[in-house]
Structure 1
Amino acid sequence: MNTATSSLKEKWALLKSERPHLRIRNAAQELEVSEVALLATQIPDTTIRLKSDFTAILSEVQTLGKVMALTRNNECVHERKGIYLNPDFSSPHAGLFVNADIDLRIFIGQWASAFAVVEKSERMERKSLQFFGKDGEAIHKIYLTPASDEAAFDLLVAKFKSEDQSPEQAVEKIEIQIDERMDDEIDVKGFQNDWENLQDTHHFFSLLKKYQVTRTQALRLAPSAHYAQAIDKQAIVTLLETAASQQIPIMVFVGNRGNIQIHTGEVKKTMWHENWYNILDPDFNMHLDMSKVAQTWIVRKPTEDGEVTSVEVFNEMGEIIVQFFGKRKPGIPELTSWKELIASLS
């Protein structure tokens, strides 16, 4: 262990002794290092470096049984319990898990390192698999639950343990650059016409690329307020409280550079905790830092099955934080109850 790593390990040990409930992500921010650099200092005590064979590891997570999947960005945390069924890494663009519980869109080219972690406390051990990007930010974490198979976890870790158990982890700084062209440089009429003639919500991203517009710029330049309408962020609370009280099944998308995680179903318990607005259900939790919400929009996109309506939430950089949809599948029109709920927000 080099001197810098040894010093970092000692600094974190001191922080933990002073504030035992401080999360590693917050500790890394305070120490001005990446989360993965801080985690690596725990090798070999509580952390094991795994091989970078991410698709093979993920394809075997099913053996662990019911686990908790966690995907987050700086403003929102998405936690979903279930079994990792139906892995599909056949596409060069995105890997998939598609089922009722664990529903992921995985951009494996953004993944850089993997670890098995055992967090020890006075009461329990918490075992997890943790995956990080090139910048050292966490992309995805998988935590064992009381229903998980710990023996299968140990077998998986042994199988994919890396020969490299160095406590140092190099990272690349990734600058966030959202270059927005001037509105008068864009073929606004062409863009609006193509939006009005969309056949699939997934084609919206291609539309942004075609006209070289950012997502929030696209919403500003929408064909009309019917297609994109800015609303107050308090509408997020109204949306979730109404969905819970009326038991309207929804979809909640939260992602980062390397992964998007989706919950589909009803939500029941919602509540505030300081500046965080939360969904706290047995198999699904969401934690949204409302203080970091800069823009909230109602967005409508035409499809072959009729319009699809979402509420899209952005940070100050114009990056998407979370998206809410009514529960739907291809070939099935949007829920009337969802349409009515959205209409009540505008």
Structure 2
Amino acid sequence: MIHPTPARLDADRLDALKRQAIFRHHDFAAEMGLPEAALLEAGLRQGVLRIDATPGRLIPALGRLGEVMATTRNPACVIEKIGTYRDFQDGPRAVTGRDLAIDLRLDPRHWVHAFTVELDGLRSVQVFDAAGDAVHKIHLREASDLGAWEGLCRELALPEMTISADLAPRVAPEGALVDAAQTETLRTEWAALTGVSQLDPLARRLNMNRLGACRLAGPHHARPLPAGATEALFQAIRAQGIEVRLRIGNPGCMQIHTGPIRSLRPMGSLLNVVDARFSLHLRADLVAEVWLVNTPTPQGPALSVEAFDAQGVAVYKCCGLPKDQGGDPATWLRLVEGLPDMPGGQVVAR
């Protein structure tokens, strides 16, 4: 998909949209068919500054801000966590904040464009991929260090050149990759796995991906659940007070919540978690497939609930915590086994 040119969206037009109180970067960009980064580019010199998006430079600078809110989204879900960026480990698959409030897995290849934004007293850092779509955002809070913010803006600033002409076309979602000829091999080798990190490489070696492998694996390995199972899952986690590991992200950033779900407020098709330092907003109507995935490990089966949208994009992955990390595997097992089955024994089309 080639983006329409954002040339007509100059700073005056942007300011008019803000005054009309209809302006939300992500939603408005989608409505206009524009990459979100083009909206920020239109505000250069009006509270928007282009900065270096390289995680090896940006993440340590974010750590100096102190307490902030980290936000990551995909087409169906957005997660927000309050905390501090710590324990950054650079590399081809970078990590920051492992086991802390802001817990991220990054693919630096997708951290291409970045801006600082200062508007009406609110400050944020926003990172985008090569197509100009949001990868990760950081919002300052009252307790954030403004001196560190000024230092970040000064040290990471780039020339105010436009990026619109250089934005790449969006990469179409991969969808489910299925190779029916590999069904028996997949099932045999899945049963022999000894860790959760081995499933994706197995699928790729058989010319499939995770969703495609779930469709072929059979109910012993991957049991299809109704698309509406997400609310039942979240309600059960909240009601039983169990701690889980919930992964939500996009190709450039996976953000992880480890802990309970204390509040759940459905509003139509929108599921809202609004806890003190953790929020989640999920469009349940955009969830097309949900799977209960069983991966063998030396400690026993690792069970995760995984959701995908109609294009095969991962929406979330939720799993229980092992006992040595404060989890309750027996309660998690009972919880997921109690999730509803597909109506009438229905299975996802192969």
Report the equivalent of 2:223: 229
Report the equivalent of 2:148: 152
Give 1:265-280 correspondences, 5 Å limit: 265-280=259-274
- 1:37 aligns to 2:38 (yes or no): yes
- 1:5 counterpart SS class: coil
**1:271-320 Cα deviation digits (max 9, x unpaired):** 11232101100111111001111111111111122111111000001111
Could you tell me whether the CA contact under 8 Å between 2:271 and 2:284 is conserved in 1?
yes
How has the CA–CA distance of structure 1 residues 193 and 330 changed in structure 2, closer, same or farther, with 3 Å as cutoff?
farther
**1:225-246 Cα deviation digits (max 9, x unpaired):** 1221111132211111121121
- 1:16 aligns to 2:18 (yes or no): yes
The equivalent position to 2:205 in structure 1, one of 200, 207, 210, is 210
Could you tell me whether the CA contact under 8 Å between 1:25 and 1:35 is conserved in 2?
yes
Report the equivalent of 2:310: 316
**1:216-271 Cα deviation digits (max 9, x unpaired):** 2211211x312211111322111111211211001110110101000000111101
One-letter identity of the residue aligned with 1:141: K
Deviation of 1:130 after TM superposition, in Å, equals 0.8
Aligned residues: 335
TM-score, L = length of structure 1 = 0.91
Distance 1:140 1:273 in 2: 25
Could you tell me whether the CA contact under 8 Å between 1:42 and 1:167 is conserved in 2?
no
How has the CA–CA distance of structure 1 residues 180 and 101 changed in structure 2, closer, same or farther, with 3 Å as cutoff?
closer
Superposed CA RMSD in Å reads 2.1
Deviation of 1:22 after TM superposition, in Å, equals 2.9
One-letter identity of the residue aligned with 1:15: L
One-letter identity of the residue aligned with 2:44: I
Distance 1:14 1:329 in 2: 55
Give 1:76-115 correspondences, 5 Å limit: 76-89=77-90, 91-115=91-115
Distance 2:194 2:134 in 1: 34
Distance 1:179 1:246 in 2: 34
- 1:12 counterpart SS class: helix
Unaligned runs of 5+ in 1: none
Could you tell me whether the CA contact under 8 Å between 2:70 and 2:102 is conserved in 1?
yes
Deviation of 1:344 after TM superposition, in Å, equals 0.6
TM-score, L = length of structure 2 = 0.90
How has the CA–CA distance of structure 1 residues 31 and 307 changed in structure 2, closer, same or farther, with 3 Å as cutoff?
same
Give 1:49-198 correspondences, 5 Å limit: 49-89=50-90, 91-120=91-120, 125-162=121-158, 164-169=159-164, 170-178=166-174, 183-184=179-180, 186-198=181-193
Unaligned runs of 5+ in 2: 341-350
Percent same amino acid among aligned pairs? 28
Deviation of 1:4 after TM superposition, in Å, equals 5.9
How has the CA–CA distance of structure 1 residues 181 and 53 changed in structure 2, closer, same or farther, with 3 Å as cutoff?
closer
